[in-house]
Amino acid sequence: MYLLESLLCLSAITLSCCHEVCGQNSDGDHTGVRNPPTVMIAILARNKAHTLPYFLTLVERLDYPKSRISLWIRSDHNEDNTADILRDWISSVQKNHDYHSISSEILSSPPFRLGEEMGPAHWTPLRFTHVIQLREEALETARQLWADFVWFLDSDVFITEPNALKQLIANDKVVAAPMLASDGMYSNFWCGMTDEYYYKRTDEYQPIYYREQTGCFHVPMVHSSVIIDLRKTISNKLTFVPQKIENYTGPHDDIITFAVGANKSDIPLFVCNDLMYGFVMIPMEQSDPLETDYDQLVNLKLEVLAEFDPLPLSDVMGKYIQYPEPDTLGLDEIYVINLERRPERRLRMERSLKELGIAAKFTPAVDGR
């Protein structure tokens, strides 16, 4: 009996070694090339009709096989045409059968606000509960799908680096966030957390934000764009639900709950700035109207134009962007003086003026050369 077991073990080892030598992977592929990991992207959108055209265009332009991506999209309590934009985009990508699957629940019926909300940026306990439930549902769905990764991606994030997903996977972290810039010093990570679980200023923040040091850095909080490696068993401890964390005393907040739970489970959180991944909107104050977010988007688009190409728009999404009617701001004329040998500066200025709704005349500068 022992001899038979030994022979069976030896046969199994030999077969395994043969597969390795011949370049055959576990799927029977003799090329030795494995499929990329599967990813579920979880998207929550509420009152984001102004950011969605750019956000969805950039998601579609990620350099990653769409057949290995599943989309999980939820939207409700909108006061704008967020629902229409999402349905239109989903319909357009479904025609090509590119993505592995798309699960969407998009509600546009009243009431527009949840509970005692006083405005679109007012976060009540009931609203936090709702978001916590949605994020936890997304996490559990990814696990049930046996997805290798789940990427929580907020709809006011703009991933401008096409290789972002590939690089985040290659960094091999259980939880990681691509560092995102803004039109200020706001980003999607904290370098310090107080005893009450809120933001704490530290000297480490600026060198990471300005990419004076590059790599992946252990931090106490990441949010807005967070990828989780579900292949690693320890990821099973991650949750957004406060009641699932032993002795949790923090606030009723999805991102703080997730961070505290990860830290209690000895799961390090990383922010990665090895690439210039993209941008994030600065959140509104509680009393701000939606118009404040529109202005924030213009500010961010101008910030992008200072050094980079403009945020792209697909043909399907371009129709949802409206620019202000250009005028001269009460002046007789506005002139832009530009060197003819610097057409790239003129183009950047033309794009900026279009965003701001300013009508200007261009005149050539005297070239000192």
User: Would you state the pLDDT for residue 325?
Assistant: 96
pTM: 0.89
Token pair of 203 as six digits: 């000297």
Token pair of 272 as six digits: 């990665």
Q: Can you say whether residue 208 is alpha, beta or left, with left for phi > 0 and alpha for psi between -120 and 50 degrees?
A: alpha
Closest CA to 71 of 95, 92, 97, 40: 40
SS (H, E, C) the chain: CHHHHHHHHHHHHHHHHHHHHHCCCCCCCCCCCCCCCCEEEEEEECCCCCCHHHHHHHHHCCCCCHHHEEEEEEECCCCCCHHHHHHHHHHHHHCCCCCCEEEEEECCCCCCCCCCCCCCCCCCHHHHHHHHHHHHHHHHHHHHCCCCEEEEECCCEEECCCCHHHHHHHCCCCEEEECEECCCCCCCEECCECCCCCECCCCCHHHHHCCCCCCEEEECEECCEEEEECCCHHHHHCCCCHHHCCCCCCCCCHHHHHHHHHHHCCCCEEEECCCCCEEECCCCCCCCCHHHHHHHHHHHHHHHHHHCCCCCCCHHHHCCCCCCCCECCCCCCCEEEECCCCHHHHHHHHHHHHHHCECCEEEECCCCC
User: Would you state the pLDDT for residue 119?
Assistant: 86
User: Would you state the pLDDT for residue 178?
Assistant: 98
pLDDT under 50 in the chain at which residues? 1-28
User: Would you state the pLDDT for residue 5?
Assistant: 42
User: Would you state the pLDDT for residue 11?
Assistant: 39
Are 271 and 189 within 8 A, CB to CB? yes
User: Would you state the pLDDT for residue 33?
Assistant: 78
d(CA 365, CA 247): 68
User: Would you state the pLDDT for residue 34?
Assistant: 87
User: Would you state the pLDDT for residue 254?
Assistant: 97
d(CA 59, CA 41): 9
User: Would you state the pLDDT for residue 110?
Assistant: 65
User: Would you state the pLDDT for residue 1?
Assistant: 42
